[in-house]
C-alpha cells in the first residue's frame, strides 16, 4: 500500500475541535520523544509534516493529518516527560481520555516504545488502556538504528514480555533514520483502514 498524499488538517484539545467527517483514524501514542512525529514524517515521505524536536514535549495538541484524501493519522502528545507539572499531566490525561474513549472511527493505535529500553510503567498502562477500550494495537519499537544486531531478539523479548503483548497485536522494529520497517509498517497501519486494496 502507498501513501501518496498527506496534509495537516487541524489541532484539537477537545472533541468539538475534531474533524467532523467520519473518516477512519489511526492514532500514534507513546512516551514523549519516542519518535511519533518522526514516524509520521517518514511514512508520509515528508520532512516536516509533523513537528519534531530533540526536546521532549514537542507535540502538545492532538494533530489530525488527512492521508490519501481517505483517512486520518492522529499524532497525540507524549507522556512521561519529566518537566511537566501536575496540572499539565491532568490536562494531558483528560485530553487523551476524551479522544480514546468512544472514538468510533478510531480503528487502530500504534504504541511507540524506544527499542533500546524496557517499556516503562506508563507504557504498560497505555497498552492496557488500549486493550481495555478494545482497540487493535501495533507495537512499534523505534530508533532501531541505535541497536546492535544481537540486541534485536533480546529487546523484542523484553518489550513483548513487559507489555504482555496479546497474540492479536503486531510488533515491528522501525527507524526513521535508516527506514527499517517502513514498508511493512505502512501495510500494518493501512490494512483495514485504507479503501485502496493493493
Ligand atoms: P513528543 O512530541 O514530545 O511526544 O515526541 P515524539 O514522540 O513526537 O518524538 P519526535 O518524533 O519529535 O522525536 C524525538 C527525537 O528522537 C528527535 O530528536 C528525533 O530526531 C529523534 N528520533 C526520532 N525517530 C528516530 C529514529 O528512528 N532514530 C533516531 N536515531 N532518532 C530518532
Ligand atoms: Mg511529537
Element (H, E) at 25: strand 25-30
CA–CA gap between residue 111 and residue 93 (Å, rounded)? 16
Q: Region 167-178: what's the mean pLDDT?
A: 97
Q: What CA–CA distances, in Å, run from 165 to 20, 21, 113, 136, 188?
A: 33, 32, 13, 11, 16
- Does the 6-192 domain belong in CATH 3.40.50.300? yes
Specify the ligand 1 atom closest to the Cα of 112.
7
Asked if pLDDT for residue 162 goes beyond 90, the answer is yes
Q: Which residue's C-alpha comes closest to atom 29 of ligand 1?
A: 143
Ligand 1 geometric centre to CA of 197 (Å): 31
**Residues 80-90: pLDDT tens digits?**
876 778 888 88
**Structure confidence at residue 122 (pLDDT):** 93
Ligand 1 in reach of 6 Cβ (< 6 A)? no
The helix/strand/coil state of 53 is coil
Instruction: Give the phi and the psi of residue 142 in degrees, each rounded to 5.
Output: -90, 170
Q: Which of 31, 33, 79 to mutate to test the pocket of ligand 1 (most atoms within 8 A of CB)?
A: 33
Q: Region 67-96: what's the mean pLDDT?
A: 87
Amino acid at each position: 500500500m502507498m501513501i501518496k498524499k498527506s496534509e495537516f488538517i487541524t489541532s484539537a484539545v477537545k472533541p468539538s475541535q475534531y474533524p467532523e467527517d467520519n473518516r477512519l483514524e489511526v492514532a500514534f501514542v507513546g512516551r514523549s520523544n519516542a519518535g511519533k512525529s518522526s514516524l509520521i514524517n517518514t511514512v508520509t515521505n515528508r520532512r516536516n509534516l509533523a513537528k519534531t524536536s530533540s526536546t521532549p514535549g514537542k507535540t502538545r495538541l492532538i494533530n489530525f493529518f488527512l492521508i490519501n484524501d481517505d483517512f486520518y493519522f492522529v499524532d497525540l502528545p507524549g507522556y512521561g516527560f519529566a518537566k511537566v507539572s501536575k496540572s499539565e499531566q491532568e490536562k494531558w490525561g483528560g485530553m487523551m481520555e476524551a479522544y480514546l474513549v468512544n472514538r468510533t472511527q478510531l480503528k487502530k493505535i500504534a504504541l511507540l516504545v524506544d527499542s533500546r529500553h524496557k517499556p516503562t510503567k506508563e507504557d504498560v498502562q497505555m497498552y492496557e488502556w488500549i486493550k481495555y477500550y478494545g482497540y487493535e494495537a501495533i507495537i512499534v519499537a523505534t530508533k532501531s538504528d541505535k541497536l546492535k544486531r544481537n540486541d534485536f531478539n533480546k529487546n523484542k523479548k523484553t518489550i513483548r514480555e513487559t507489555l504482555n503483548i496479546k497474540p492479536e497485536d503486531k510488533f515491528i522494529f522501525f527507524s526513521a533514520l535508516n527506514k527499517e520497517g517502513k514498508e511493512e509498517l505502512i501495510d500494518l497501519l493501512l490494512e483495514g483502514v485504507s479503501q485502496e486494496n493493493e
